[in-house]
Chain A
Amino acid sequence: METVGHIEVTRTEADWTLTGSLHEWLVTVDHKRLGLMYVVSALVFMVIGGVLAIVMRAQLAVPDNTLVPPDVFNRLFTMHGTTMVFLVGMPFLAGLANYLVPLMIGARDMAFPRLNAFGYWIFVFGGLLLYFSYIGGEGMAGHGTAPDVGWFAYSPLTEHPFSRGTSTDYWILSITLTGIGSISSAINVIATTLSMRCKGMTLARMPLFVWLLVVVSGMILVAIPPLTAAQVMLLLDRYLGAHFFDTQAGGSAVLWQHFFWIFGHPEVYILMLPGFACASEIIPVFSRKPMFGRAAMVGATVSIGFIGLGVWAHHMFTIGMPPAANTFFVASTMLVAVPTGVKIFNWIATMYGGKIWFATPMLFCVGFLFQFLIAGLTGVMLAAAPFDWQLSDSYFVVAHFHYVLLGGLLFTLFAGIYYWFPKATGRMLDETLGRWHFWLLVIGFHLTFDTLHFAGILGMPRRIYTYAAGRGWEGVNLVASMGVVFQTAAILCFIWNVVRSLEHGKEAGNDPWDAWTLEWATSSPPPEYNFAKLPEVRSSRPLWDIKHPADPDWKYE
């Protein structure tokens, strides 16, 4: 029997999260169950999105390939991007937030449990609707066509004359629905954090994970509506004859781009910041030191949130904006690199002078640090507008954002999974399989995405289903496609690790990592009510204070 303080949590109570009938799961409003459902759904969509990528890389491995015809390829990259952003990244962060925030602030659930469930199920519906297009969608190539307009769906390609049928509408509707789900989650996270912290947990004492997710939620509230608005406008164009983006009748193609990227750029910070949140919890614990410069980390995060709302047109450097506008966005984009860099420096300073334990969560964080550094620097290159006039819409950009989202975000999400899986299930994931997972992913990721930078430098544009021999693109594409084999092996390793550990993993106990935040103060998994007695805290590391009564944090904070 685990004990929390002096109050016993029985095995049955601890196992509550993971047991229960199908009906209980379908109607649950518990944040832990919903959190798990979000994460599992995100992983399922990640595998699907990955399969789409495997087919694309197979097609592009050699020149003049005929593995898939152009219309299929165009659907592949559209669905791959849309899936990874909206059906993997967003639900993953919602899952982490909903599972961990109440535990980390010493609360029993989210502020609005039913809203939580609503957000989850509307996301599921949106995801299923998107994929239903493979059966129900109508496009220029006939029946059963998914959307094929790219994940950012530039107009007027998406207007009726150029995208007949309904495939584009599946994209519009499903993304609008998942957007509503994201907004619901965001409202919930902010209300929970502001209104339900346990006694003594001032905002300054909240874990960095919670801070980052509050900023993410604020960004969601402000950045998703532009996308929703643009989607509604596009639907009005397509069905009621409106002319928002209808260039044949005086509408503006550029207006769509502005609206989309006013959403789209903050969106990539919305995706990445939860990865930073995981890193900010894991790196201190595995370096055995507090986060270096907590206040600076919070300040940097808030800066990223604000400045990130003012950089969007760096996605539009090639549309012919005047020099002053281009220069403004160069400046703001380069500026946002500063707080991002400061965060990297603080993570390294946390490790410096510590006693670093390279368990699997930390391995993934170290990989993240190297890879995100590179991703940020290629971002600085893209921020130099004239350089971007060459690199934009080429494989260099593809390599850059996969470096951010795969090399950065996915690595930290895996770190988070290895770190919190014991808390959620009561069992440890296997360390050996974890190492195999990590190294296979590192090899595969670098084989693919290091080389794709060079494809861009050699002039290879994005979103082409094939290319002629003799352009110099054959070698890089072949190597990039080989990386897929290793990445697939890594994911299979991970899935096997999860499946095996659920039954046979080592028992975790409350606090397998000797960590310091409140989620480790209760059983693994936590009982339905989270804490037998709601905690009271005096510092940002309440468990450190308990474990080190002679040297508590509240003396120094």
Chain B
Amino acid sequence: MTAHVDEEWTLPDRGRVGVLCLIATEAALFAIFVVAYLFYVGASRIGPLPKDVLELPIWPTVCLLSSSITVWFAEHALHDRRLRAFVSWVVVTAILGAEFIRQTALEWRHLIVVDHLTISTNVFGTTFYSLVGLHASHVLAGLGLFTLVLVVSLRGRTMLEHARRFQFLAWYWHFVDAVWIVVFSVVYVVSR
């Protein structure tokens, strides 16, 4: 079976390929919810309408996008084997993500209780809550994974061997942030 193959044989890391595939498939999923949102822009027969009740979520956006930067710092720290710095940056990332969720929850509470906008009020409500909610659920999943990483890190030095794997989580997190940019533009800018 031997043949004379002289060149070096390097192939992509399978974890990277896997996570990129996952991101591709999630992108397709989000795309459909975005299409549904755009399809129904202007189609609600009764209010409330986006311009009536939506405010630009500047602070949550700042939090979430900064968390992409902090997760990048965390990646680097882990790569340089600086475990304490790594843990700190992961904690900051998680706090920023949690603040994003908290702001989303506050926004939703206001929309439901004060503005009387629910998923069943009109097609705006339907498409708003489903799209923003789908994104928020992905943020929550990321927070769950960061928690897992923290638990593992606080119990020993295992994470050092899994630096490669942390990168996959970081890429996922960057994806979630990129989706937020799209959601922000479509929901809070274009449709308002």
Contacts and interface: CB of A to CB of B under 8 A. Distances in A.
B51 interface: no
Nearest to A201: B9
A200 B44 contact: no
A251 B33 contact: no
Contacts of A196: 11, 14
Interface residues of A, number: 51
A56 B3 CA distance: 57
B66 to A, nearest CB: 29
Nearest to B26: A225
B57 interface: no
Nearest to B24: A221
Interface residues of B, number: 38
Contacts of A195: 11-14, 17
Contacts of B9: 199-200
A428 interface: no
Interface string A218-233: 0001111110111011
Given A199-B5, A236-B130, A542-B1, 4 more contacts: A233-B36, A241-B118, A241-B120, A262-B32
Interface of B: 1-5, 9, 11-15, 17-18, 21-22, 24-26, 28-29, 31-33, 36, 39-40, 43-45, 118-120, 122-123, 125-127, 130
Contacts of B15: 191
B44 A250 contact: yes
B122 A194 contact: no
A516 B26 CA distance: 38
B25 A225 contact: yes
B39 A252 contact: yes
A552 to B, nearest CB: 9
Interface in A301-353: none
B18 A187 contact: yes
Contacts of B119: 236, 240-242
A235 B45 CA distance: 22
Contacts of B4: 538
B2 A221 contact: no
A186 B17 CA distance: 11
Contact of A545 (B3, B12, B126): B3
Interface stretch (A40-48, A438-446, A529-537): A529-537
Contacts of A251: 123, 126
B19 to A, nearest CB: 9
B1 A250 contact: no
Contacts of B22: 187
B28 A226 contact: yes
A391 to B, nearest CB: 29
A244 B14 contact: no
B120 A259 contact: no
Contacts of B11: 194-197
Nearest to A532: B1
Q: Chain B: interface secondary structure?
A: helix
Interface in A235-262: 236, 240-244, 249-252, 255, 259, 262
Contacts of B2: 536
Contacts of A536: 1-3, 5
A243 B36 CA distance: 11
B17 A546 contact: no
Nearest to A242: B126
A244 B126 CA distance: 7
Nearest to A230: B32
B21 A221 contact: yes
A394 interface: no
B28 A221 contact: yes
Contact of B1 (A5, A224, A225): A5
Interface of A: 4-5, 111-112, 183, 186-188, 190-192, 194-197, 199-200, 221-226, 228-230, 232-233, 236, 240-244, 249-252, 255, 259, 262, 521, 533, 535-538, 542, 545-546, 554
B26 to A, nearest CB: 8
The 5 A-B residue pairs whose C-beta atoms are closest, nearest first, are A241-B120, A195-B14, A229-B32, A225-B29, A225-B28
B22 to A, nearest CB: 6
Contacts of A194: 11-12, 14, 17
A243 B122 contact: yes
Nearest to A188: B18
Contact of B33 (A187, A197, A229, A546): A229
Most buried by A among B24, B118, B127: B24
A250 B123 contact: yes
Most buried by B among A250, A259, A546: A250
B74 to A, nearest CB: 25
Most buried by B among A183, A221, A243: A243
B118 to A, nearest CB: 8
12 contacts: A112-B14, A190-B18, A194-B14, A195-B12, A233-B130, A236-B130, A242-B119, A242-B130, A250-B43, A250-B122, A252-B39, A536-B2
Contacts of B13: 195
A413 to B, nearest CB: 25
Contacts of B32: 225-226, 229-230, 259, 262
A221 B20 CA distance: 11
Contacts of B18: 111-112, 187-188, 190-191
Nearest to A115: B18
A242 B21 contact: no
Most buried by A among B13, B22, B28, B43: B28
A36 to B, nearest CB: 23
Most buried by B among A112, A190, A242: A242
Contacts of B14: 111-112, 191-192, 194-196
A100 to B, nearest CB: 18
A191 B29 contact: no
Contacts of A230: 32
Contacts of B44: 250
Contacts of B36: 229, 233, 244, 255, 259
Given A199-B5, A222-B28, A536-B1, A190 B21 contact: yes
A262 B32 CA distance: 10
A187 B21 contact: yes
A249 B21 CA distance: 37
Contacts of A223: 28
A222 B17 contact: no
Most buried by B among A111, A191, A232, A554: A191
Contacts of A232: 130
A537 B24 contact: no
Nearest to B8: A199
B1 A242 contact: no
B24 A222 contact: yes
B25 A224 contact: yes
Contacts of A226: 28, 32
